[in-house]
Structure 1
């Protein structure tokens, strides 16, 4: 009934705005984009989806039993929403179990610490590791250190994460998490513990993936809460010889099969051309994966559903991709790019929602520089939803970030991430952190973006040459 009413009301709306003249395709697209915004803002579908995911599935670490539950949930949910096509594509993913983790300062003071293992870490020996710590302000400082000062000790990287709307502070500090164990092992350390990569002051640790390097010893890697990092610093002011006891039991357990889960709104006249909107289905196992990335799953799914329900389908196919195993190395994104290599020239544009549920305030692109002004004009209707025109600096999102290398244009719908890293990768990543109104604004923005791109006549290629 809703679709029937929309079909009846749309011509009346067009006539009221532009008189009795026949509307141009551009006018019709703009009006439909505005209608999508109003429908999204008046709907709680996005919140219903993320509530369903966090309640019925919860944490869903790649390769775990809950990951399989999440895949089944996604396939069923997309089918129930009536997409033209729903399918999944197998992805081989590494399997890692967190186990237990504990730490304490044992000399000259005795204090327990709150820690968590970093994703992919090896375990300590069963008896644990007890050693003096050596502190560094950053990964760069560790790289410059004399190996004699590090050998036989536990490295402590104490870099604070700056709070920014754009989240750029994360990029400055995350190297200590991802590569800290490599550099510490290179200099003979027994283990590494970092200040959590987060902007909160809660006594909980932030997990996240880390890497090892072939040929180097694999040492245990953990993160401690920000208040505990402050505690250790206060101890170091009193004594240079601080001894830490660390015990961890994570385990790498080979590989398993997960899936990218995909839904499509089939294009009416260019069905082989793709507008991709994506998010990642997996999450870390500490919270319920609400903001990372249940919100993204909800945003792109609800946006796709709004387009699916239009009385007339857009020209291009809108493809919703829920990626596997983003958290442990963009595994699903890489698998998608490989599996669809032959049709990447038919991908008109791609964008991914993976930065929580803060309001979208700007849209950036990575497209042919000559067409950018026209593209900004085409998407001007999004400004009524609070989304300003941006520049040509988009990278698209983690799982689509490799597509521009194959010539695929991308967009970044920039979200306000001021408090995102308060909750990111922690037990505090739960449903209550999502504002339903902000989530609906995101759904509106993605629906407008995907629809306008599916109807666009602009040639977005070739991409700008890398500098």
Structure 2
């Protein structure tokens, strides 16, 4: 869908910087405005100050907590202070999961405490915890292949290690252990499951993250070991003696709570009902302060939208910045946003959607899922982004997690791919804090999002619709 003939691409790349591009719907004045946005952001944007404010004044903001409500109020106030034309809230309802204490220790043959964190959504252990022998598995597939009933009265341990990549592609093969480990272990009769943290850190803290249950399978507790503690447990298992573990977790899922997507708009001058969306998710896990996941995404897209709002003339289409609710526990904000647009018949009005939810590393590539007829617009945007060290790639990429639900309904998407080499060192941990963010890297991202959103909103080219995958 995104491939174009090489001759067209070469012709586009050969154009002077301010020339109009055939098929892009953009003229020299549009490009000059976009370059002005880019250069202003690089000189210094408001993004770091916004993330500092969110992490200092609100801090960790797990969905459904009092801090969630404070974050919503914070986002609304910031959108208003930044001068957005329209600021509003949309309700998002979900069950509330609460973490209590979490402890683990090896009882035999080598008694030692272990560092763990409960996985989001996990049930707790019975009062006083559970004690049982550990059975180790190299990965989720090995656990799934275990005979029925073979783990009765045991604790399953999945030891697979996530591999580090710039684009984060090691996450997909590893995260199944977190998402589905409890279901597979329960099918075999296990009392609980522990996994090696889904992350690349060597520090002694656990990486949390949501997991899931199935209605027909018993619910058992699930926790992640810090990676050094996973190594320790593996070393014990390798000695061939039975390893006995005590796991004590207090967690609770309570009734439903209604939070909000917080939305700020720069209204389009000619086509206000056609929208380009950018954003990030407002919630975080409860251990760090949610700086890179996803305070950075919220702050930099707010700052990009505010820059566009400072222009003397608004773009043709509306630029909509969305601070999504409760991404971490099931994409609730993105799903609610897409469902509301589908119900109102507004999916065709969504011209392009992008999301920042991969930390605070610099952007290195622009990718998109648009109608081939709109690809000249993407190429022209890419030319303005090139001085930022961003390459335009005609294949690959994917929409962000909260953008995914509306893309599944046919909305076009763009991706500004970030360098995530160290992202999974901090992802879902107590170490997700402001000191991990380089302010100049945020400025580069603001520049990229401002250019992307402005030019996508300024062109009169329709980005089309992406093919909707049939339901399985």
TM-score, L = length of structure 2:
0.92
Which residue, 424, 447, 452 being the options, matches 1:444?
447
Which structure is higher in helix share? Answer: 1
Q: Indicate conservation of the 8 Å contact 1:272/1:316, yes or no.
A: yes
Q: Find the aligned partners of 2:468 and 2:26 in 1 and give their Cα distance.
A: 32
Deviations 1:248-298 (CA, angstroms, capped at 9, x unpaired)? 001111111100000000001111100000110000000000000000001
Q: 1:340 Cα deviation (Å)? A: 1.4
Q: 1:17 Cα deviation (Å)? A: 7.6
Q: 1:465 Cα deviation (Å)? A: 6.9
Q: Find the aligned partners of 2:373 and 2:83 in 1 and give their Cα distance.
A: 38
Structure 1 residue 455 and structure 2 residue 434: aligned? no
Which residue, 388, 391, 414 being the options, matches 1:385?
388
SS state of the match for residue 292, structure 2?
helix
SS state of the match for residue 213, structure 1?
coil
Q: Structure 1 residues 447-456 or 372-381, which shifts more?
A: 372-381
Which residue, 377, 401, 415 being the options, matches 1:398?
401
Deviations 1:85-143 (CA, angstroms, capped at 9, x unpaired)? 00001110211111000000001110100001000110100021000011111111111
Structure 1 residue 133 and structure 2 residue 131: aligned? no
Q: Indicate conservation of the 8 Å contact 1:369/1:463, yes or no.
A: no
2:102 corresponding residue in structure 1: 101
TM-score, L = length of structure 1:
0.93
Q: 1:372 Cα deviation (Å)? A: 2.4
SS state of the match for residue 99, structure 1?
strand
Deviations 1:390-432 (CA, angstroms, capped at 9, x unpaired)? 1243322000112222221001110000000000000000000
Q: Find the aligned partners of 2:424 and 2:386 in 1 and give their Cα distance.
A: 27
How many pairs are equivalent?
447
- After TM superposition, the structure 1 = structure 2 runs for residues 41-440 of structure 1, keeping only pairs within 5 Å, are 41-341=42-342, 342-440=345-443
Q: Structure 1 residues 346-355 or 393-402, which shifts more?
A: 393-402
Using a 3 Å threshold, how does the CA distance of structure 1 residues 314 and 17 change in structure 2: closer, same or farther?
closer
Using a 3 Å threshold, how does the CA distance of structure 1 residues 29 and 299 change in structure 2: closer, same or farther?
same
Q: Indicate conservation of the 8 Å contact 1:209/1:328, yes or no.
A: yes
Q: 1:215 Cα deviation (Å)? A: 1.7
Q: Indicate conservation of the 8 Å contact 1:154/1:191, yes or no.
A: yes
Q: Pairwise CA RMSD of aligned residues?
A: 1.6
Q: Indicate conservation of the 8 Å contact 1:368/1:464, yes or no.
A: no
- After TM superposition, the structure 1 = structure 2 runs for residues 6-45 of structure 1, keeping only pairs within 5 Å, are 26-45=27-46
Q: Structure 1 residues 140-149 or 89-98, which shifts more?
A: 140-149
Q: Which runs of 5+ in 1 are unaligned?
A: 1-15, 19-23
Q: 1:31 Cα deviation (Å)? A: 1.1
SS state of the match for residue 310, structure 1?
coil
Q: Find the aligned partners of 1:185 and 1:354 in 2 and give their Cα distance.
A: 32
2:14 corresponding residue in structure 1: none
Deviations 1:298-342 (CA, angstroms, capped at 9, x unpaired)? 111000000000011000000001000000000010000111112
